[in-house]
């Protein structure tokens, strides 16, 4: 059971920067979308230029991904993840706040989906005391709070969490869910992607039966926080995702934005949402699997 909220604000973090139990992780990563594909770029250089004092860099692309997967940012083995977290200082007697570069104030797609990706990975591997910083580094800087280029580190720690397989959906599980009324499948991509109007993936369209809840519509662009719970309930209610008797699986292009939707649902008490890690890119690469356009 977590002892901290799923999402914290900048003031909450500022009051705890000197807490010896805090582990502050910068998960900044950049996604460059182009016609016919996408490229991931590490945020390490940005971290080295400026970061919140005390933060260490968590590399989602290499250290926290499966090196043998044909797809970027695939969940690594539990053992690999535990080793990486321990090296970053995350252990059983610590709590974690994750942030990323965040979006500039007023951005129409304000989210910290790289931070939510690591939030989800930590929970997947059995670590509950993790929160995402609302607004990320962008909001922290907009408020005039301190940043530094000085490198930081924590003492190595022992991470003993156990994987929760129910939070990770595979391609086979999604195939089995097609047409199953007890499963709610949520496409976290934009309406244009959902309808197959953009050429980013090997094949266009959405997984049959999935409902579209765009991750970029869940945050107030001015405050960088999630929308009010009542508003989130209005968005998710019609999808069936708030029905505790139904399993919820989120997906996107590569398992990143889907974690932002999972975090939004956790704000409403659905902290059991599974993320389809391979998402659209894995699905689209298999020509035997159906996709729907329009």
For position 36, what pLDDT does the model report? Answer: 54
**Which residues on neighbouring strands pair with residue 276, listed in sequence order?**
169
Q: Within 10 A of 191 (CB to CB), how many other CB atoms are there?
A: 11
CATH homologous superfamily for 7-142?
Rhodanese-like domain (3.40.250.10)
The bridge status of strand 37-42 relative to strand 29-34 is antiparallel
Query: How confident is the model over 121-130, as a mean pLDDT?
Result: 98
Q: Residue range 288-293: average pLDDT?
A: 95
pLDDT, tens digit (0-9, with 9 covering 90-100), for 175-230: 999 999 999 999 999 999 999 988 777 789 999 999 999 999 999 988 889 999 99
- Digit-coded pLDDT (tens) for 85-101: 999 999 999 999 999 98
The residue-averaged pLDDT of 29-56 equals: 85
- The structural domains of the chain, with segments of one domain joined by +, span 7-142, 165-285
- CATH dotted code for 165-285: 3.40.250.10
Q: Are 145 and 24 in contact (CB under 8 A)?
A: no
Among the residue ranges 35-49, 58-72, 143-157, 189-203, the one predicted with the least confidence is 35-49
Whether 278 and 74 have beta carbons less than 8 Å apart is answered as yes
pLDDT of residue 201: 77
Average pLDDT, integer, range 149-163: 95
8 Cβ contact list (under 8 Å, min separation 6) = 97, 131, 132, 133, 134
pLDDT value for 128: 96
Q: State yes or no: is 252 an active-site residue.
A: yes
Determine how many CB atoms are found less than 10 A away from the CB of residue 228.
10
The per-residue pLDDT for 111 is 85
Rounded Cα distance, 47 and 201, in Å: 30
Q: Work out the mean pLDDT of the chain and round it to a whole number.
A: 93
Give me the torsion for CA of 48, 97, 40, 171, rounded to 10°. 160
Specify the pLDDT at position 78: 97
Catalytic residue among 200, 232, 252, 257, which?
252
User: At residue 25, does pLDDT exceed 80?
Assistant: yes
Q: Mind listing the pLDDT tens digit for each residue in 270-285?
A: 999 999 999 999 999 9
| Mean of pLDDT values over 121-135 | 97
- Banded model confidence at residue 40, pLDDT cuts 50, 70, 90: confident
Sign of CA dihedral 174, 177, 183, 185: positive
pLDDT above 60 for 234: yes
Q: Do residues 149 and 44 make contact, with C-beta atoms less than 8 angstroms apart?
A: no
Does 7-142 match 165-285 in CATH topology? yes
For residue 107, pLDDT beyond 60:
no
pLDDT at 129: 97
Phi-psi domain of 287 (left: phi exceeds 0; alpha: psi -120 through 50; beta: other)? alpha
């Amino acid at each position: 059971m977590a002892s901290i909220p799923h999402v914290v604000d900048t003031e909450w973090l500022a009051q705890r920067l000197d807490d010896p139990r805090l582990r502050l992780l910068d998960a900044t990563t950049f996604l460059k979308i182009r016609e016919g594909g996408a490229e991931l770029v590490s945020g390490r250089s940005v971290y080295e230029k400026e970061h919140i004092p005390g933060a260490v860099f968590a590399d989602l692309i290499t250290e926290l991904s499966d090196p043998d997967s044909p797809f970027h940012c695939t969940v690594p083995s539990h053992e690999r993840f535990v080793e990486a977290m321990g090296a970053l200082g995350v252990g059983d007697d610590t709590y974690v706040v994750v942030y990323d570069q965040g979006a500039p104030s007023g951005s129409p797609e304000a989210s910290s989906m790289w931070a939510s990706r690591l939030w989800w990975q930590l929970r997947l591997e059995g670590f509950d005391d993790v929160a995402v910083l609302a607004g990320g580094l962008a909001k922290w800087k907009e408020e005039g709070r301190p940043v530094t280029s000085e490198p930081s580190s924590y003492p190595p720690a022992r991470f003993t969490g156990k994987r929760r397989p129910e939070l990770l959906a595979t391609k086979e599980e999604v195939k089995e869910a097609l047409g199953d009324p007890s499963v709610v499948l949520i496409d976290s991509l934009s309406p244009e992607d959902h309808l197959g109007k953009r050429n980013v993936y090997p094949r266009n369209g959405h997984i049959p039966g999935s409902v579209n809840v765009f991750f970029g519509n869940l945050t107030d662009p001015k405050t960088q926080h999630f929308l009010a719970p009542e508003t989130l309930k209005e968005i998710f209610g019609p999808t069936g995702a708030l029905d505790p008797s139904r399993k919820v699986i989120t997906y996107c292009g590569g398992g990143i934005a889907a974690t932002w939707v999972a975090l939004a649902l956790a704000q409403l008490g659905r902290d059991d949402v599974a993320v389809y890690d391979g998402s659209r890119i894995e699905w689209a690469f298999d020509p035997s699997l159906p996709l729907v356009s329009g």
